[in-house]
Amino acid sequence: MGKITERYPFRRSFYQKVEDAIQNSAVSFLLEPRKCGKTICLKQIEDAVDQAIYVDLKTDFPGEEQKRMFLSQVMKAIQEGKKRIYLIDEATYLPLPDKDILRIAAAALDNSDQGTKVVFAGSQSTALNFWGHLACAGNASYIHADFLSYPEWMAYRGITEVSEDTYLKFLGNTREFYPDFQDVKEYLQGCLDETVLSNQKAVEYVMGNGCEDLTVQMLLDVLYASLIKLHNHTSYVRFADARYFGTALTHFFPQELLGLQKEILEKRIQDFLSSRYHNFSAMTALDCKNALRFLQNCGLITLTYVSDELNVDPYLTEKILKESNDLYQKPEIFSRINAVIRYPMFYLKLIKGVLQETMGSTIPRELLGSIVECHVRSLLPESGCFSYRDADGAEIDYVSLDGKALECSVFNKKIRDTNFHLLPDSFEKILLTRDQTDPAGRIRRIPYYQFIYERSDGKELVEVLREKEEQQRKEEGC
């Protein structure tokens, strides 16, 4: 498509999706979490395509008058049919983002055969997605970016082997791909600031995007509450007791991994959680629901309704997070909603906040199980599913209403230790294991790292490496 430079040599999986969208659509939207790599992708497009122009509205045009002049330039190029590709980053910093996007998109769509293309990008996915559909009525392309996946990391490091060893290396080394990402608190503050800004500047209110009463501390408190609950699968009353969890979590982090005495480690955990849960106990149920919805909008958590009924409303999770429902107590919220952290990098950052230490190359197996459960859940559909849990505490991690079920483990769990028997025989059942692959009757066994690999974006990058390796072997054989 034109010039190629090596300013950013590694191209993520969604780079090709953006390139295809530009070819096929006059208007495109590049969405999803802050700092996941959208800006680098747009700069790679600028490097590769002669007529591409990248603009960061936040830094390149800090003044409102500068932004308006740029908008006039874009509109003029569209009207004159110039061959341009405008890559507009931080689109929420437009003077009136919803109306400005509407104006540009309408002009680009009306003149789609003239040659000017526009890509809007930003971290306010909820708002940009809403504005995009208002402006384009389904005539735009929407590309969803994400943080570095397991296959993408393999391609980045030149690895083609899918195994537990390479997955563990992915967990321990993903942070090297994001050297500027240091602190979850700072990241959340940026999410809040950008959401407030987009809500203030827009004319049209974006439903479900409010955050006026939220603080970074509240968001962190809910994240840690969800994290600790996941480890222990227990009731609100017990997981809200910091002393109990200081003791319960200590066994996840053996002394030899961190070089700390058990008593020191336990005190660190208790001290950290006591302040967290003191704040958490002061939050109202509505605060918790708003925080969960905000974290979901930011793409940081996955929410699943918990039930023992197979005819669950597929949209129940979204409904019960609304203010006008019967879920008024925190114990109900955290017993009926399973919140998991989407990205292993964030999970390990939160754990580091508790331990005040960076995890080494070895991850305790119980902790690995929790990380994998979160990672797997983030790769499965969010609608039309639920987590099964009955009155006796029997659980199945994931059940979809179209007849599929999955239990997640990093051990070679025996079939008799699962709860698949609680579901009809007609269900397709998958048990994730450490390394077993043989089918067990109607239940498929799949190594967890293989399942994660197959469900993740970026496999095509690994296939390219494998083809190169195969070609090299053939040449050496000759």
Give the CATH number of domain 13-144: 3.40.50.300
Model confidence over 221-270: pLDDT tens digits? 889 888 766 655 545 555 556 566 566 666 666 555 556 677 777 777 77
Share of the chain above pLDDT 90, in %: 58
Calculate mean pLDDT across residues 429-443.
Answer: 89
pLDDT level of residue 406 (50, 70, 90 thresholds): very high
Cα 358–Cα 361–Cα 367 angle in degrees, nearest 5: 75
β-strand partners of 445: 431
Share of the chain above pLDDT 70, in %: 88
Calculate mean pLDDT across residues 366-392.
Answer: 91
Q: How far apart are CA 27 and CA 105, in angstroms?
A: 6
What does each C-alpha distance from 130 to 69, 205, 233, 381, 471 come to in angstroms? 25, 10, 36, 20, 47
Q: Please tell me the predicted confidence (pLDDT) of residue 226.
A: 82
Model confidence over 346-376: pLDDT tens digits? 999 988 887 776 666 678 888 899 899 999 9
Structure tokens belonging to residue 336: 């009926």
Calculate mean pLDDT across residues 20-46.
Answer: 95
What does each C-alpha distance from 320 to 289, 377, 380 come to in angstroms? 9, 20, 21
Q: How far apart are CA 444 and CA 379, in angstroms?
A: 18
Q: Please tell me the predicted confidence (pLDDT) of residue 109.
A: 93
Q: Please tell me the predicted confidence (pLDDT) of residue 1.
A: 42
Calculate mean pLDDT across residues 443-469.
Answer: 97
- Answer yes or no: is pLDDT of 2 > 50: no
- Answer yes or no: is pLDDT of 19 > 90: yes
Phi, psi angle pair for 423, to nearest 5°: -105, 155
**What's the order of all strands across the beta sheet hosting 85-89?**
52-56, 85-89, 117-121, 27-31, 141-144
Domain boundaries, the chain: 13-144, 150-181+213-364+371-378
Structure tokens belonging to residue 317: 């999770």
Model confidence over 303-340: pLDDT tens digits? 988 888 888 877 777 776 766 566 667 777 878 888 89
Question: Average per-residue pLDDT in the chain?
Answer: 87
Q: Please tell me the predicted confidence (pLDDT) of residue 249.
A: 63
Model confidence over 113-168: pLDDT tens digits? 778 999 999 988 899 999 999 999 889 999 999 999 999 999 999 999 999 999 99
Using DSSP's 3-state secondary structure scheme, residue 227 falls into helix
